[in-house]
Structure 1
């Protein structure tokens, strides 16, 4: 193959918000995005099923000559990444790397909080996994972490209702829910790749003294740092500035939704896993 793109995987469209920031920060590389829309959402599925789906998509991206893959999906990062890194890569691709979105955020969140109290807003699957709590405490044991599951936020975004008046009820409900857990919370993490599209409305229910963090920019900076520290991986990623988008479901549906996450029109290709 003439290209060796950086692979970016998500169960659906949300990972495009992460890819958008990565491309903005590292425009020179080739990129290949895979959305497993036919089997989305992953959040309500079992640990084993999420692992099997994620591994299958990772192996597909390996077959497309990706030497580095970003799991731009909180559920996959929480429930599949560790097994893939520790059990699979040593056997199937010891010279390749798969990274997630949870650790990069956990590594920096403590720098933003002055009170030592931070809140995590995520899907029910991500919150129930406690992955952010564990990772943040490992990096910043002095922090107190609060969580709030926001089950309606992803449907609001995917149904393109994120800017509607009806969205305000659900957004305010969960902002009030997380902030009621502690008056000391001064940092909120949007632990879902869909949530940046709700940012303007979220800000209307959050005081100016609270910092809101989105994953995309953090993950992009972390990837830049990773490639500088691992030139042996960077050298395997080609720099042709190409971007290709794949979906396991309808391309028309993917393209229609994706333009809101990506910010402009795209043309995806269908693959059958």
Structure 2
């Protein structure tokens, strides 16, 4: 007899970027409900210390656990690279980040190819942590890696500046160093909001990796292997923000094509520090 678990999936990000993961998970797992937490009050995470990011991540996880979720997706590149390994064993709830699922996909891609040339763009903090680089080298030792911190992109995404001349010029400048690669990882979940511009800049030869697609695939497999899919009627999704006075709604409406997204938003009252 199939076990079932209709509790929601918890999802955590510093802001609107994690909705690129939310979108892919809903596409692949339409029966699953999601409780999404955007820590918009303390955005951005990319310039904060590792200690602060760990504390912020723990607070986000604690909040989601209080919402009775069955597992948690860290839909934030900075929190995944700097906090996940530090916090995941503190909780009984399974916690999944965006790095492993993406690099496991690349390991399959390059299984019979020793000439992997992989680019990574992410926040400055993520690049400095070497989280992506270390995991790639662990699974694909022969890979040549180029990594670039792009600190302006996540704030631009939060402002909704994802398809204008400022975005195009900024991305062009950041990608100058990303020549002679065959794969480009969007190592911050805000960056798929710029995917149209990035694809045009990089050309058809380069595969652009949206981490949301890869984590959704891993999540599908995990739910099936552990028999915890929701087979009942879906509970309505919930979106919590730590600060509702932001551009989250307008960016989310455009990304998700849902002009009623604002009706799902609630204020998350749990802040303990002002980092």
Answer yes or no: same fold by TM over 0.5. yes
Q: Which residue does the alignment assign to 1:148?
A: 148
Given the alignment of the two structures, is residue 84 of structure 1 paired with residue 84 of structure 2, yes or no?
A: no
> Which aligned pairs between 1:35-114 and structure 2 lie closer than 5 A?
35-86=38-89, 88-89=90-91, 94=92, 96-112=93-109, 114=113
Q: TM-score, normalised to structure 1's length?
A: 0.89
Q: Which residue does the alignment assign to 2:28?
A: 25
Q: Which residue does the alignment assign to 1:250?
A: 244
Given the alignment of the two structures, is residue 160 of structure 1 paired with residue 125 of structure 2, yes or no?
A: no
Which whole-Å CA distance do the structure 1 matches of 2:43 and 2:155 have between them?
12
What secondary structure, in the 3-state scheme, does the structure 1 residue paired with 2:41 have? helix
1:241 shift after superposition:
4.7
Which whole-Å CA distance do the structure 2 matches of 1:6 and 1:238 have between them?
14
What secondary structure, in the 3-state scheme, does the structure 2 residue paired with 1:70 have? strand
**Cα contact 1:21–1:217 (8 A) shared by 2:** yes
Structure 2 residue runs of 5 or longer lacking an equivalent are: 271-275
Equivalent residue in structure 1 for 2:268, among 249, 268, 271 = 271
Given the alignment of the two structures, is residue 213 of structure 1 paired with residue 216 of structure 2, yes or no?
A: no
Which whole-Å CA distance do the structure 2 matches of 1:30 and 1:160 have between them?
26
Structure 1 residue runs of 5 or longer lacking an equivalent are: none
Equivalent residue in structure 1 for 2:189, among 193, 206, 210 = 193
Q: TM-score, normalised to structure 2's length?
A: 0.88
Q: Which residue does the alignment assign to 1:224?
A: 220
**Cα contact 1:105–1:215 (8 A) shared by 2:** yes
Moved more, 142-151 or 212-221: 142-151
1:217 shift after superposition:
0.8
**Cα contact 1:4–1:238 (8 A) shared by 2:** no
What secondary structure, in the 3-state scheme, does the structure 1 residue paired with 2:165 have? coil
What secondary structure, in the 3-state scheme, does the structure 2 residue paired with 1:205 have? helix
Q: Which residue does the alignment assign to 2:273?
A: none
1:168 shift after superposition:
1.7
Count the aligned residue pairs.
260
**Cα contact 1:251–1:270 (8 A) shared by 2:** no
Equivalent residue in structure 1 for 2:253, among 252, 259, 264 = 259
State the Cα RMSD in Å: 2.0
Which whole-Å CA distance do the structure 2 matches of 1:148 and 1:237 have between them?
42
